[in-house]
Structure 1
Amino acid sequence: MIRDPQILDALLDSVNRFVRERLVPAEDAVERTDQVPAEIVQDMRALGLFGLSIPEQHGGLGLTMEEEARVLFALCQTSPAFRSVIGTNVGIGSQGILIDGTPEQQRDWLPRLASGELIASFALTEPEAGSDAASLRTTALRDGDHYVVNGSKRYITNAPHAGMFTLMARTDPQDKGAGGISAFIVDARTPGIRFGKPDRKMGQRGAHTCDVIFDDVRVPAANLIGGREGQGFRTAMKVLEKGRIHIAAVAVGLARRILRDALAYAMDRRQFGQPVADFQLVQAMLADSQAELFAAESMTLEAARRRDDGRSVAIEASSAKMFATEACGRIADRAVQILGGAGYMAEYGIERFYRDVRLLRLYEGTTQIQQIIIARAMARDGRVA
């Protein structure tokens, strides 16, 4: 659903120029220092990137899912660390408040998330609860006008920089399933919150995760999202469904950059007196990558449009996330092969992308979880999408 093509084109032009002139030249520095420069974060605020998905009445741009996907196609043709800075504000950190929060919660928190004044973080995963999110053990027990939170969260994106957490915790210890889980807004400055050491990861330097420990953290009852207990798991699933389309779009943007770099190298590099792009086996890798990129982009846009239309997209969102992230991994692998020895060398950048994109098949639901979601939805609805 593109509401105004001219406005969207102007935004895409700005994002493309920002990527080309500011982000791509900073890629090596981010890899070297493991930090996104503060001035670039401020430029992201000025461009409105923290509020892509937050409605205009709360200070955001209020993009539809299709518009958001198209912006991500452009923004993600560079190191994924840059997208990670804004990703939790645009997606899983804010959407629970937007979808299920009370008017007061939306008024109090969304404007600061849209402006980038606060960095959001989504605290769901635990040491013993990853793909099996319903088994989480962190508790939030009512005590007067507050809930007292105890437990640990793991691999929490942007936690070291967070101003607030969208927290999933068990409010009914007797209910061991999804029905005992509630969602909270937690100010990151609240006493009792501690952070583990920053995680050392395979890739995505500049994008930071760590454990978050809650030790008798008192959260106002007014911060229970939606004002009702037992709705947290449903909120999380709604958030993750949208997030899967978001990650599919991230994969498309990254795959486009990787394939463009591989093509440029293949056209320039000469062997046996001709560009390696003239060799049919190299052409096969380029062609397979182009076809998969086209398919991934088409699937992502179709899932986004269906969501904008208000239709159920459980199958489509998981299908797009699964296919696009797996395709991105295959395209990165072929790019290393096309570059040969140069593909293994840090100076060409392809090996960095090869490491970076491996995470896409894991977070927001692994490929195997997407397969389960798709198959169960097909059996439940008796339909093939």
Structure 2
Amino acid sequence: MKHYDIVISGGGIIGLAIACGLQNIGLHILIVERKQLKLPLKNKMPLPDPERFSALNIASKYFFQNLGIWQQILDLCANEFNGVEVWDIDSFGKIHFNPKQQSIQEPLGYIVSNQKCHDILLQHTQVFGDVTICTSATLQNISFKKNNAIIILDNGNTLTTRLIIAADGTHSWLRQYFKIPSSFWKYRHHALVATIRTEKPHQEIAYQVFHSNSILAVLPLSNPYLSSIVWSLPPEQACFFQQASEILFNQHLSIHFDLCLGVCQLVSKRQTLPLTGCYAHHLVAHRLTLVGDAAHTIHPLIGQGLNIGLMDAAELVGTIRRIQNQGGDIGQYDNLRSYERSRKYSSFLALTGAQGFYIIFNGNNIGKKLLRNSLLKLTNHIPAVKSCLLQHAQGIINIPPWLSRL
């Protein structure tokens, strides 16, 4: 029976980042991933599948710098953005964020390709001899002894470990298997994801447009005329726009974007994803910890989903390193409580903030419309409030202490 110090369920960005962050401290790590991990082949279709992009904040950049892969991410799959414009359609409310006006030296953030970021992490993980990756496998049964957990995989292999990390996504098998109390809710929206070409250059500005029943985010890519869209729509509208002809889709999108960058043109396939919220009431148990989407999922309107997951990873890496350096048991519940206290507070603030924004900015009630436009206008004219919002968006406020000291 093979033994590993840590078993990570899930070989996505968060799981791989944790493995990279725990190198060279004497821990043997196994990543169990249900899919086959490999670099994607070039798609020769006239319209390729849409790439998923995320907004990466400064705190996440610091974490990747610590892992030694930031320059590679910056060179291959990241594009900085230096402005944000947010407005409510057909109304007076608007916010414009400019780092120069706020005396901020760094970019507001970076738009990164999720797939390419994952591939870089995967390549980096494979350099180290203390990480093993088991693909096309899932956890099937788990039992606990005093000093370890016994895991049976669906391929018949049995192994032991001191700590199991659930990085297995929104529908986490581990969270359900251990019956971790969790809250779930539906946003009654689907996200339509695609890549578009605009008539005018985006000038490295990220845009967000609120309509009465939809939210359109436009994220600038490295090509000045290409952007990724995340369009939050009621399910029936998302289905309609996914199946509509390219000409009709381009017309509706251009109008919904207020012709801000001229006429929009679809350059990828369209993909829709249901949007749900989840909040696990406990992030740790004996020899178990939850991270990323397994612990919490959030509406994309504030663009912080990946950043929150990466800060989970950073906090957990710091916690495990400290326990290991002190000669403690990395799977003991009491030793992991500091991780839970820190990340429950931060993720709860983000979730409630996103929920509050969603409630205020979704719907055509005249009172809501007046409130949100007043908030947008007021915020735009108070530098101190804008500066506070930017610091939260950049992740500087709740950054793990060990990362802030680098």
Q: TM-score, normalised by structure 2?
A: 0.24
Larger relative strand fraction: 2
Q: TM-score, normalised by structure 1?
A: 0.25
Larger relative helix fraction: 1
Pick 1 or 2: higher relative contact order, CA cutoff 8 A, min separation 6: 2
